[in-house]
Structure 1
Amino acid sequence: MPEGHTLHRLAAEHQRVFGGRPVGAGSPQGRFAAGAAEIDGRVLVAADAHGKHLLLEFDDDRVLHVHLGIYGTWRFGEPPVPEPQGAVRLRLTGAGGYADLRGPNACELLEPGGVKLLRDRLGPDPLRADADPDRAWARISRSRTSIAALLMDQSVIAGPGNIYRAEVLFRQGIDPMLPGRALSRERWSAVWADLVVLMAEGVRSGRIDTVRPEHTPEAMGRPPRVDDHGGEVYVYRRAGSPCLVCGTAVAAAELAARNLFWCPGCQPPAG
């Protein structure tokens, strides 16, 4: 599933291609035909993202809400617009090009009240200027749940996924099994600040890079990472490999139906 930086990049691309202009909309697949007809010809006022949710606001105050889930994708192209290929749930067209949506978990039109309900159930997004990290801290500081699980709960903090979760905990030297209520406010502030920087870099580059300059392939004389997610990381998908910092074998376990990665040497249990 795409992590939050990808959705912010998608919002920026929609704004670039369609923003401020009437947008054609259709559903070649037919599953969103009624919704597409309602926004066909409307002006895209703003493209925004909150966590893993894309929000496209049109000039009738309605918002197209898209959650890609595991299989959803957007594909952009330039004119001329080709015939749709495969199961295209939604096609947006404009003078600047087109965008095809396939396989989303959610594709729906929301009234302003529905948008508020969606935002209210999401935690703060480190990539949003209006994010309030104290909202997340209020939940974390009372919880017996592990910090690793809390960072994957989109109602606690919106946007980070499995990669950012594993990497920020490594970078801050935090045992992933530490209960939220055992995390100090100072360490939470460091986690939040690190996520803001790492995810903003993800928006800029389009990939997740989390290693510090002294641990890059060039600095260490090691081969670059080869992985379909791209980017240089410390622990994600590196189970059994030596930690880039201390040499301890990276550990892995399943937590809440997702694979968790950490370094027992750099992230020892508290106490």
Structure 2
Amino acid sequence: MPEGHSVHRIARQFSRNFVGRRVRASSPQGRFAEGAALLDGREPTRARAVGKQMFLAFEGDLWLRVHLGLYGAWDFAGEILVDPTIASANGRMGQTNQRGTVLDEPIYDDAGENSLTSIGAPRKTRVHVRMSEQTKGLDEADGLAAPDAEWPPPVVGQVRLRLLTDATCADLRGPTACVVETGEQVQAVIDRLGPDPLVGDPAENEERFVRAVRRRNVAIGQLLMDQAVVSGIGNVYRAELLFRAGLDPHTPGKVIPEETLRGLWRDWDALLRIGVETGQMMTMDGLEGEAWRRAMASRDDRHWVYHRAGLPCRVCGTEIALEEMQARKLYWCPGCQR
């Protein structure tokens, strides 16, 4: 399931490529025909993300709310304007590392996690994209699709919703939730969510998180996955945050020292920002040069414990444990996390 960094990147895509541009909305699959009809011909006015949910406002107090869930993804095609925080100085897609150094070339992992063209569940796409050196069929003078590129692109697979401007196309497949709501209904959804480090007042968010955890006699490994406690954390970030904090996943929230929880929140803030910036869940510190590039290209080289069951801990050598917690896989080190 896409975690918080991916959903924030989706919202940025819509802010730069759809907000302020009238869209044509359709449901090629047919399952969202009524909702698409409500949005068709309207102009998006704002895009925002809170945790794992994305909200796209349209004129007339209508909002599109999307939760990708386990299988959902947005595929973008056409002319894509790159967010300046992830674009290099020459205008092409780039990535910055934890020290703020802009990499000359984009680095793609084997799942395409940092792709500007498909965000969500891993999938292979055939698209024409602006500002991508790896895309064929582009006019390099202006970054637009070559004249022989089909526009709009053909519908591939079960597309729940297609949003189309004169230049950019976004196809939504397989979401858990795709609904049109009023502003009041959207606010009610947001009010039920826990704090997101990138939304609202930072100090208030930290206090909300600490209070929510310390009043519960529930394992911290469960609480971090509860979107009413904290928004955006999924299986990968949970495992990595708990390892970095040296916390046993089974520790009840109410017995964890306040300062430990504050450190956990601030670490989540930092990792989320790195994820939004790079497009990948980079959770290891101190990587430089080739080590950084390996980590950007391979998930096996960027995490401390996630997906490392049975392997020795990178710090203490203890075998990484794997168990189920609330029907989700939990990776942790019994040696470092006590």
Q: TM-score, normalised by structure 1?
A: 0.92
Q: Give, as a single letter, the amino acid of the residue that structure 2 aligns with 1:244.
A: R
Task: Answer with 78-87 or 14-23: which moved more.
Answer: 78-87
What's 1:253 paired with? 323
Q: CA deviation at 1:96?
A: 2.9
Task: Answer with 255-264 or 208-217: which moved more.
Answer: 208-217
What's 1:32 paired with? 32
1:247 is paired with a residue of what secondary structure?
Answer: coil
Per-residue CA distance 1:179-219 (angstroms, 9 max, x = gap): 00011110111000000010110001111111111699739
Paired residues of 2:280 and 2:296 also in contact (CA < 8 A): no
What's 2:237 paired with? 164
CA distance in 2, matches of 1:228, 1:88: 29
Q: Give, as a single letter, the amino acid of the residue that structure 1 aligns with 2:32.
A: F
CA distance in 2, matches of 1:248, 1:226: 25
Q: CA deviation at 1:130?
A: 3.5
| Structure 2 counterparts to residues 128-167 of structure 1, below 5 A | 128-130=199-201, 132-167=205-240
Task: Answer with 102-111 or 136-145: which moved more.
Answer: 136-145
Task: Answer with 124-133 or 75-84: which moved more.
Answer: 124-133
2:158 to 79, 87, 94: 87
Q: Does 1:188 align with 2:261?
A: yes
Paired residues of 2:240 and 2:306 also in contact (CA < 8 A): yes
CA distance in 1, matches of 2:300, 2:333: 20
1:100 to 171, 174, 189: 171
1:239 is paired with a residue of what secondary structure?
Answer: coil
Q: Give, as a single letter, the amino acid of the residue that structure 2 aligns with 1:249.
A: E
What's 2:197 paired with? 126
| Structure 2 counterparts to residues 219-238 of structure 1, below 5 A | 224=294, 232-238=302-308
What's 1:66 paired with? 66
CA distance in 1, matches of 2:260, 2:336: 15
CA distance in 2, matches of 1:246, 1:215: 22
Per-residue CA distance 1:117-151 (angstroms, 9 max, x = gap): 10111100122244512222222111111001000
Gapped runs of 5+ residues in structure 2? 80-150
Per-residue CA distance 1:22-65 (angstroms, 9 max, x = gap): 11101111111111111111111011100000100011111100
Paired residues of 1:47 and 1:54 also in contact (CA < 8 A): yes
- Size of the aligned set, in residue pairs, is 265
Paired residues of 1:215 and 1:244 also in contact (CA < 8 A): no
Q: Give, as a single letter, the amino acid of the residue that structure 1 aligns with 2:166.
A: A
Paired residues of 1:5 and 1:127 also in contact (CA < 8 A): no
Larger relative contact order, structure 1 or 2 (CA cutoff 8 Å, min sep 6): 2
1:213 is paired with a residue of what secondary structure?
Answer: coil
The 1:214/1:81 distance shift into structure 2, 3 A limit, reads closer
2:254 is paired with a residue of what secondary structure?
Answer: helix
1:200 to 249, 262, 273: 273
1:241 is paired with a residue of what secondary structure?
Answer: coil
CA distance in 2, matches of 1:258, 1:216: 34
What's 1:47 paired with? 47
1:88 is paired with a residue of what secondary structure?
Answer: coil
Task: Answer with 93-102 or 149-158: which moved more.
Answer: 93-102
CA distance in 2, matches of 1:207, 1:218: 15
2:194 is paired with a residue of what secondary structure?
Answer: coil
CA distance in 2, matches of 1:199, 1:209: 9
What's 2:118 paired with? none
2:160 is paired with a residue of what secondary structure?
Answer: strand
Q: CA deviation at 1:95?
A: 2.4
Q: CA deviation at 1:225?
A: 6.3
What's 2:137 paired with? none
CA distance in 1, matches of 2:44, 2:299: 31
Per-residue CA distance 1:60-93 (angstroms, 9 max, x = gap): 1111000111111110000621221211110000
